[in-house]
Amino acid sequence: MSSDTAHLSEPQHDCSFRELKRLVIETTGLSYYADKDEDLCGRIQRRLAALGGCTWSAYLQLLQNQETARVEWDHLVEELTVGETSFFRHPELFQGLRERALPDILSRNRASRRLRIWSAGCSTGAEAYSVSILLAREYPEEFRDWSVSILGTDINRKFLNQAREGSFAAWDFRGSEAEQIQDCFIPRGNRFVIRPEFQRHVRFAYHNLIRDPIPREEQGLGAFDLILCRNVLIYFDAETNKRVVRQLYEGTTAGGWLLVGHAEPNIELFRDFTAVNVPGAVLYQKLDQPVSDVGPGINGLVERRFANRRGLPVTMSTQISRTAVDRRRTLGTECPPGTERAAAGQRLQRRNAPEISDHVEKSVREAPAPSLRTALHQCEAQTACQPMEASSHLRLAMLRDQTGDHARAESSIRRAIYLEPTSAFAQYLLGVFEQRRGRKKIALRAYARVLSILNGRPDSEPIPDGEQLVVADLRRLVSLQQEALNEP
């Protein structure tokens, strides 16, 4: 018997087991096993037995081999994760969702008529389906004709497959009302299958909370109005929890809600949210903050740089107009006809929608807040009719940022980039957003992409969708932002 095999009963003395334990915690975030060698050993040994009794070192190599790792990690995660769940678990939390969070979301999103929900660590799907049932039964009229999306994610692919089947045992309904089970499920043998009308808004996908970026709906559009991440953080260590909660905050739209388990650690983790007390539970809301608290928006960073260094006005719209006027005076000419900008305008006219774009640009520059919101609603309507037009999403981003809806403004920018990756102006605005959020490296990469797109173009060429800017102007703006990011 090899020493490696002999140590299977004493894993703490085996260097391969210690490395395996480190790899498991690093990959899954399950620091719950940091001081539970016996439990972890027993779970891994079930996989060793299934593989014919291989050693710790051989199993470690299996998990590190690119060709075999994916499948074996899925099997191991099935052993390591807990599938404890039930419908409407912690009823007080669902009561708070019913009476506080959903009415607030309904009010905030009445114009867009969109609702995006994420159940993170969804296990076999009871939570996601509970939310779907709640919406259908408690708000049958209010959310009628809305675009509703409920995404359930988990690291356990076996759980996800069970969730997609929508089949549950009687134990999953402990605490549920008999009427609810009868109305929402179809009995099949000793199991219950959720009815199709409660499945149609729900989908499930693999997601690793500690390794994968926040999932984005519709090819990168938008943050979530409601995130449920219950009884997940209890398995992570303090540093991992800080990173995950920060991601949850960034993945929540302005005014959106976060629901966590009543046993989650350290309330200080959620200090960026506002705690909302309801009977028997605490909900967290990402309240709209004044601009002074969240830092400058898309326009603010540009305004500040120009105001401080060039003595230009402190509104981006005025600054852009002044920049364009000064540039035309320097060149001694207006923007030449037949350019890309003019062609883009002609394409808009061919779509019989010039009044929308004209009104949007005028509103951004001149209108008070109520008119801005009118322009925003009109632009949202145009974008809904032309969802594949990157320029529509860019105008929508500018308006949303003007009205303080920074999260959705960023979503619009990302949508525009998805549709038109070579849009220099969209890449520039993305850089500004990342700079505002303190992501220096990502912002610098976005600015580098702008310069790459502009490489070789004449200084006087207009920037498509760039609010009268030309190539020289945008290069100058990028230079200022890069200088700001590289300041000590």
Pick from 383-387, 402-406, 423-427, 481-485: least confident: 402-406
Residue 304 CA to residue 306 CA, distance in Å, equals 6
Q: How confident is the model at residue 11 (pLDDT cuts 50, 70, 90)?
A: low
Instruction: Let me know: does 252 contact 221? Beta carbons within 8 Å.
Output: no
> Do the domain assignments include residue 85?
no
DSSP 335: P
pLDDT at 42 over 60: yes
Residue 114 lies in a domain: yes
- Tell the burial category of 44 from Cβ atoms under 10 Å away from its Cβ (0-12, 13-18, 19+): buried
Average pLDDT value for residue range 427-450: 87
Classify residue 413: in a domain, yes or no: yes
Q: What is the pLDDT of residue 52?
A: 86
> In this structure, are 57 and 122 located in the same domain?
no
Residues 101, 74: one domain?
no
Q: For the segment 321-370, what is each residue's pLDDT rounded down to a tens digit?
A: 434 444 443 434 333 334 333 343 333 333 333 333 343 344 344 444 44
Do the Cβ atoms of 125 and 162 come closer than 8 Å? yes
Domain stops at, among 233, 266, 288: 288
User: In this structure, are 375 and 429 located in the same domain?
Assistant: yes
Place of tokens 């296990």: 123
Of 159, 161, 156, 139, the closest CA to residue 148 belongs to: 139
Residues 337 and 462 in one domain: yes
Q: Give the whole-angstrom CA distance, residue 171 versus residue 86.
A: 8
Confidence (pLDDT) at 279: 81
| SS3 state of residue 86 | coil
d(CA 224, CA 31): 27
Of 343, 266, 326, nearest to 473 (Cα)? Answer: 326
With respect to residue 196, please indicate whether it lies within any of the assigned structural domains. yes
Query: Within 13 Å and on the Cβ side, how many CA atoms surround 379?
Result: 27
Do residues 310 and 188 share a domain? Answer: no
Burial of 470 by CB count in 10 Å (0-12 exposed, 13-18 middle, 19+ buried)? buried
Domain check: are 72 and 167 in the same one? no
Residue 89: which residues within 8 A CB-CB, separation 6 or more? Answer: 126, 127, 130, 175, 230
Mean pLDDT of the chain: 77
Query: 468: pLDDT confidence band, cut at 50, 70 and 90?
Result: low
User: Which residues, including other chains, have CB under 8 Å from residue 218's CB and lie 6 or more apart?
Assistant: 415
Compute how many other C-beta atoms are within 10 angstroms of the C-beta atom of residue 424.
24
Cross-strand partners of 153: 120, 205
pLDDT confidence tier of residue 3, bands split at 50, 70 and 90: very low
Dump pLDDT digits (tens) for 380-402.
888 888 788 888 888 888 878 76
- Domain shared by 275 and 318, yes or no: no
Distance CA 394, CA 378 (A): 14
Give the residue among 382, 485, 374 at the shortest CA–CA distance from 440: 485
Predicted confidence (pLDDT) per residue in 293-307, tens digit: 333 444 444 433 333
| Domain identity same for 310 and 414 | yes
Whose tokens are 């809301």? That residue is 285
Residue 379: Cβ within 10 Å count: 25
Alpha-carbon distance of 384 to 174, in angstroms, equals 43
Backbone angles phi, psi at 284, to 5 degrees: -125, 135
What integer pLDDT is reported at residue 30 of this predicted model?
86
What residue type is assigned to position 133 of the chain?
I
Same domain assignment for residues 175 and 50: no
Cβ-count burial of 194 within 10 angstroms (0-12 exposed, 13-18 middle, 19+ buried)? buried
For 101-121, write each residue's pLDDT tens digit: 999 999 999 999 999 999 999
pLDDT of residue 244: 93
Judge whether 169 and 190 are in contact, CB under 8 Å: yes
- The token pair at 186 is 């179809």
For 248, the domain range is: 91-288
Is the Cβ–Cβ distance between 424 and 405 less than 8 Å? no
> How is 99-110 classified by DSSP, letter by letter?
IIIHHHHHHHTT
201 in Cβ contact with 150 (< 8 Å): yes
Regarding pTM above 0.85, the answer is no
pLDDT: which is higher, 469 or 425:
425
Residue 128 placed within a domain: yes
Please tell me the distance from the alpha carbon of residue 74 to that of residue 52, in angstroms, as a whole number: 18
Instruction: Please name which of 106, 111, 144, 116 lies closest in space to residue 381, comparing C-alpha atoms.
Output: 111
The pLDDT value given to residue 13:
65
- CA within 13 Å, CB half, 143: 23
- Most confident of the following: 10-14, 101-105, 359-363, 418-422: 101-105
- Which band of pLDDT confidence, cut at 50, 70 and 90, is reported for residue 178? confident
Tell me the two tokens of residue 163.
């969730």
Residue 86 located in a structural domain: no
pLDDT in tens, 118-173: 999 999 999 999 999 999 999 988 888 999 999 999 999 999 999 999 999 998 99
* The predicted structure's pLDDT at residue 256: 95
Asked which of 230, 254, 288 is the last residue of a domain, the reply is 288
Q: What distance, in Å, lies between the first and last C-alpha atoms of the chain?
A: 60
Tokens standing for residue 32: 């719950």
Using CA atoms, how far apart are residues 469 and 480, in angstroms rounded to an integer?
15
The answer on pLDDT for 194 being more than 90 is yes
Which residue(s) pair with 464 in the sheet?
none
Domain count, the chain: 3
421 and 478, same domain (yes or no): yes
Q: Are 320 and 468 in contact (CB under 8 A)?
A: yes
* Same domain (yes/no): 362, 478: yes
pLDDT of residue 384: 82
325 belongs to a structural domain: yes
Q: Are residues 34 and 137 in the same domain?
A: no
Tell me what pLDDT residue 90 has.
Answer: 86
User: Can you spell out the DSSP letters for 36-57?
Assistant: -HHHHHHHHHHHHHHTTS--HH
* Domain boundary residue, one of 288, 306, 332: 288
3-class SS at 126?
Answer: helix
Confidence band of 291 (pLDDT split at 50, 70, 90): very low
Q: Does a structural domain hold residue 266?
A: yes
CATH code for the domain of 180: 3.40.50.150
Q: Residue 387: which CATH number?
A: 1.25.40.10
DSSP 8-state symbol, 113: T
Most confident of 47-56, 179-188, 465-474: 179-188
